[in-house]
Amino acid sequence: MKKVAPILISVILLISAFAHLFYPEYYAGLIPDFISADFANVAAAIAEGLIGIALLVGKYRRFGGLTFAVLMLLFLPIHIWDALREHSALGASPIPEFRLIMQLGLIFLGWRIYKKA
């Protein structure tokens, strides 16, 4: 778990960073109207890419775990908002609710990586 989790999260983050840049329409429904979609996608891609790389480099893994937890914490309001909307961007219930629970697990996982690295 100590070595697998950072690698798994890193791969997911790097794929997500790529998707933010090349498939931004996938995230369109999760970006509130008052935030520029272009800015949100580029900022998320940069953050996810840098954190993904940090998780792969032993000397930066601890920092990567902490920043991953913070990033997931920052994304939490978006997932709460989406789960409470009449028409969720993630689809019909229980998908948004499951994603919200998963978000809490990801925050915890980032914290565990931080504490164990």
| Tens digits of pLDDT across the chain (117 residues) | 678 999 999 999 999 999 999 999 999 999 999 999 999 999 999 999 999 999 999 999 999 999 999 999 999 999 999 999 888 888 888 999 999 999 999 999 999 999 998
pLDDT confidence of residue 15: 98
Query: Which pLDDT score is estimated for 1?
Result: 65
User: What was the pLDDT predicted at 93?
Assistant: 86
pTM higher than the cut 0.85: yes
Tokens of 108: 């915890």
Give the pLDDT of residue 91.
85
**Contact between residue 72 and residue 106 where contact means Cβ atoms under 8 Å apart:** yes
Q: How many CA atoms lie within 13 A of 60 on its CB side?
A: 13
3-state helix/strand/coil string of the chain: CCCHHHHHHHHHHHHHHHHHHHCHHHHHHHCCCCCCHHHHHHHHHHHHHHHHHHHHCHHHHHHHHHHHHHHHHHHHHHHHHHHHCCCCCCCCCCHHHHHHHHHHHHHHHHHHHHHHC
Q: Are 79 and 96 in contact (CB under 8 A)?
A: yes
